[in-house]
Amino acid sequence: MVTDALAQAGGAAAPPTNPNIALLLQMLQLLPIFLILYLLLIRPQQQKQKQLDKMLKTLKKGDRVLTSGGIYGTVVGVDEGKATLKIADDIRVEFAKSAIVQVLAEGAK
């Protein structure tokens, strides 16, 4: 009698589900998280890197720049991978182009 009562309390047995559908539903739950990470972290970083690459390609003589070390200088020579900066009257220093982080506006000092 007790086993009959327990069997009836469980209700109807659930139909067997396809494990592939359960896996697909789990993947669909993770999709918005990956989309948000892409939109908030990855895409802005890629755009910033493209801007930096474009700035370094258009670097020319006479541009006033800031290096990653905090040194301000004026470009007096540009090579494939390096730039020569004038940081004082008779002082010229070679930097890797990747060390230049910003080209300053024309009127900036």
At position 66, the amino acid (one-letter code) is: L
**Under a CB-based contact definition with an 8 Å cutoff, are residues 84 and 77 in contact?**
yes
At position 100, the amino acid (one-letter code) is: I
Determine if the pTM surpasses 0.85.
no
Residue 100 CB neighbours (<10 A): 23
At position 3, the amino acid (one-letter code) is: T
**Under a CB-based contact definition with an 8 Å cutoff, are residues 108 and 65 in contact?**
no
- What is each CA distance from 105 to 13, 91, 95, 109, in whole angstroms? 74, 22, 20, 9
- What is each CA distance from 4 to 9, 14, 15, 103, in whole angstroms? 9, 18, 21, 83
Residue-wise pLDDT tens for the chain (109 aa)?
Answer: 555 555 555 555 556 678 888 889 989 999 999 999 999 999 999 999 999 999 999 999 999 999 999 999 999 999 989 999 999 999 999 999 999 999 998 766 5
Separation CA 100–CA 93 (nearest Å): 13
Separation CA 92–CA 67 (nearest Å): 14
Q: How high is the pLDDT of residue 12?
A: 56
